[in-house]
Amino acid sequence: MKRTEFKTRGVFLAYDHGLEHGPTDFTDVNVSPRYIIDIARKAEVDALILLKGSAREYYTKDIGIPLILKLNGKTNMYKGEPFSKQNCSVEEAVKLGASAVGYTVYSGSRYEKFMLSEFSRIEEKAHNIGLPVIMWSYPRGKDVHDDESIETVAYAARVAFEMGADIVKLKYPDDDNRLDWVVKAADKTKVFLAGGKKLEDQNIEEHVEKAMQAGFSGMAVGRNIWQSDDPVKRIKRIKDIIKSY
Ligand code: FBP
C-alpha cells in the first residue's frame, strides 16, 4: 500500500486503548474503530494511531490520513514492572500502509534495557526505509518516584533524542513554567503532548497553548477526543491553537 505523506507537526488521534486499557475506556459508539476513523477524516487530523488489528480491518489509504502503526503494547491486567514487548513488525506496518511507526519505552522499569534495545532495532530498520519513528517515552516502574516532575519528563524527552526518535510523545509535566526545558532536552526530536484522562475543554486547550508556546510541535491525543461529546469540534480547536504558532 502506498504511504500517505506524514507531517511532524499537528494533531495525531490515538486509538490503541483497546489493548492498553481494555474496553472500559469505550462506549457503545467509540468501541468501533469505524467511529474513530470517521472523526479523523472529518477533523482532518494529521495522523491516526492504530494497532495492527484495527488497522488491518479498517484502515485503507483512501481514508487520506497517515497511519502510525504502534508496534508494541501491553494490557493493564498485568500489574508488575512495566514491560511492553514488540508485537508487530516494521514490515507488517508497511504492508498495512503505515507512514510512521510508534513504540512505548518505559524508562526506569527494570525491563528498560529490553525496550531500549528493541526500540533501537526498530528505529534502524524503519529509518533505513524512510519511515519516521515515534517514541511514547513514559518513565514508569517502582524506581520512578515522580513521573510527572519536569526533570523526569525532560529526561524522557532526551532518551527519545539519544535513541534516534523523530518524535517523542510525553505526559504533561507538573511544572508547566519549564516546558521549554523539555523541548531543549529533546533537541532535534519533535515533542508532542499526550492527552491523558478526559479534561474539561478549557483545561486541554490551556495545556496545548502552554506547550506550543514552549516549542512543542503538537499533540497526540485519544480519550480527550473520542470520549468527548463533540470530538470534531475539540480537534479543530486544538488544531487552531497549533496553527497559531
Ligand atoms: P490518551 O490521550 O487517551 O491519554 O492517549 C495517549 C496514550 O499514550 C495512548 O496512546 C495509550 O493507549 C495511553 O495513553 C496509555 O496510557 P497509560 O499508559 O498512561 O495508561
138 given a catalytic annotation: yes
Measuring CA to CA, which residue among 225, 229, 208 is closest to residue 217?
208
Model pLDDT, residue 108: 98
Question: pTM of the entire structure?
Answer: 0.96
Q: How far apart are the first and last CA of the chain?
A: 33
| Helix (H) and strand (E) counts in the chain | 10, 8
| Ligand 1 nearest-atom number relative to CA 14 | 10
Give the three cell numbers for residue 17: 486503548
| Ligand 1 nearest-atom number relative to CA 140 | 18
Model pLDDT, residue 5: 81
| Ligand 1 nearest-atom number relative to CA 17 | 12
Count other Cβ atoms within 10 Å, centred on residue 129.
Answer: 9
- CB-based pocket (< 6 A), ligand 1: 14, 16-17, 20, 136, 194-196, 221-224
* Residue 144 Cα to ligand 1 middle (Å): 18
* Residue 74 Cα to ligand 1 middle (Å): 12
- The catalytic residue among 70, 138, 171, 190 is 138
Count other Cβ atoms within 10 Å, centred on residue 229.
Answer: 6
Alpha helices, DSSP H, located in 171-218: 179-186, 201-214
243 given a catalytic annotation: no
Model pLDDT, residue 178: 95
* Contact criterion met (CB below 8 Å) for 212 and 219: no
Q: Which residues pair with 194 in a beta bridge?
A: 220
Per-10-residue mean pLDDT for the chain, 245 residues long? 80 98 97 98 98 98 96 95 98 98 98 98 98 98 96 98 98 94 98 90 90 98 96 97 97
Model pLDDT, residue 234: 96
Q: Atom 5 of ligand 1 has which residue's CA nearest to it?
A: 222
Please, what's the b/e burial string for 3-27 (b: 16 or more CB within 10 A of its CB; e: otherwise)? ebebebebbbbbbbbbbbeeeebbe
Q: Which domains does the chain have, with CATH numbers?
A: 10-243 (3.20.20.70)
Query: Helix 231-243 and helix 201-214: axis angle, to 10°?
Result: 20
Model pLDDT, residue 197: 87
Residue 112 sits at the vertex; the CA angle it makes with 21 and 106, to the nearest 5 degrees, is 35
- The catalytic residue among 169, 171, 190, 239 is 169
